[in-house]
Structure 1
């Protein structure tokens, strides 16, 4: 399944895979959204894969949000593991 991103009232819903093929599009889309919004909420409940490229994109988005002092939320299944990875990265 290709990656699709839709916006509902509270969050961006991501469906598909965030991998080497889609990570660049994912990152670009959300950096643009971060520039025009007061923060980001990304629902990954329907994401079927996040590889190292996808994690790198999430880390870069998290870093940008911190730099811009904007809230950044990841919602859905697997978000705790992603949070743990981002927390470890920011402690290093």
Structure 2
């Protein structure tokens, strides 16, 4: 399944698969949005599949966001899985 990206103000809603095939498009789209807002919420309620590549990319984006003071938050059913991967990233 493809990835559908919808934006409502500073909330990005993802629907579909977040994997190796779709992560580059998401990263590009996310980059434009994070530059427009001080903080962004990423809603992953409708994400059906997330692979290790996508999880690693989200972690890298999180570290870059902390360094550049561009915060994003993850909400949704699988957000705990993502937060566990984010635990104590090396930022400095």
Fold match by TM threshold 0.5: yes
- Find the aligned partners of 2:20 and 2:71 in 1 and give their Cα distance: 26
Report the equivalent of 1:69. 69
Unaligned runs of 5+ in 2: none
Richer in strand (by share): 2
TM-score, normalisation: structure 2: 0.88
2:85 is paired with a residue whose SS is: helix
- With 47-56 and 26-35 compared, the bigger mean Cα shift is at 26-35
**Contact map agreement 1:24 1:57 (CA 8 A) in 2:** no
Unaligned runs of 5+ in 1: none
- CA RMSD in angstroms comes to 1.7
Alpha-carbon displacement from aligned partner over 1:36-78 (angstroms, at most 9, x marks no partner): 2111110000000110111122112201210121221000011
Aligned residues: 91
TM-score, normalisation: structure 1: 0.88
Richer in helix (by share): 1
